[in-house]
Amino acid sequence: MKTRKFFRHWVDVEPILIRSAKPLEEMMSEDRPSRRSFVDWILGAGITGSLASFLYPVLKFVIPPPVAEAIELNVVAATVEELPPNTAKIFKFGRRPGLIVNTPAGELRAFDGICTHLNCTVQYREDFGQIWCACHNGLYDLSGKNISGPPPRPLPRLNVAVRGNEIVVSRES
């Protein structure tokens, strides 16, 4: 009795199972590609990331950066009347001090106003006609050359032009 009941049940259910159930290989093959593709994606991303992290610095080294355009700085340092021979003036040149000197011979010369030793601001000494750094008694001549004391290098020269009444100092950087 029980066997017959089971058999009848099996007859009713079995076709549904057969129709709806997928073969084991098909089920596994559906499952595998998604896992495999995920692992492939992870590996691909890792390899791509590694290659990029290696190639980026190499390319940055090989390909030079674009050269910055030269910026010309022009400053009105003084008026002609302000600078008789054997006088000087410290002026603001960008973010640094500049020094404009009218030599005893009446020639205008301009320099970066920062001492090449330890960055003190230099000044013109009218009494001995040289550029002097008070911090450690450094001396420069009127061409900007370091001639005495600790300064290791000459003062950088700046361009000077007189435009009407104005003395204009410039530098290309």
Q: Would you count residue 114 as binding ligand FES (CB under 6 A)?
A: no
The residue (of 78 and 114) whose beta carbon lies closer to ligand FES is 114
Least CB distance from residue 139 to ligand FES, whole Å? 9
**Per-residue tokens: 42:** 């992870």
Which residues, in sequence order, are bridge partners of residue 121? 114
User: How far apart are the C-alpha atoms of 21 and 19, rounded to whole Å?
Assistant: 6
CA 66 to chain CA centroid, Å, is 12
Q: Would you count residue 147 as binding ligand FES (CB under 6 A)?
A: no
Contact at 8 Å (CB) between 108 and 167? yes
Which sign, positive or negative, has the C-alpha torsion 161, 162, 164, 167?
positive
The residue (of 135 and 168) whose beta carbon lies closer to ligand FES is 135
Q: Would you count residue 154 as binding ligand FES (CB under 6 A)?
A: no
Q: Would you count residue 167 as binding ligand FES (CB under 6 A)?
A: no
The residue (of 60 and 125) whose beta carbon lies closer to ligand FES is 125
The residue (of 90 and 120) whose beta carbon lies closer to ligand FES is 120
Helix (H) or strand (E) holding 50: helix 24-62
- Residues of this chain that bind ligand FES (CB under 6 A): 115, 117-118, 120, 133, 135-136, 138, 149-151
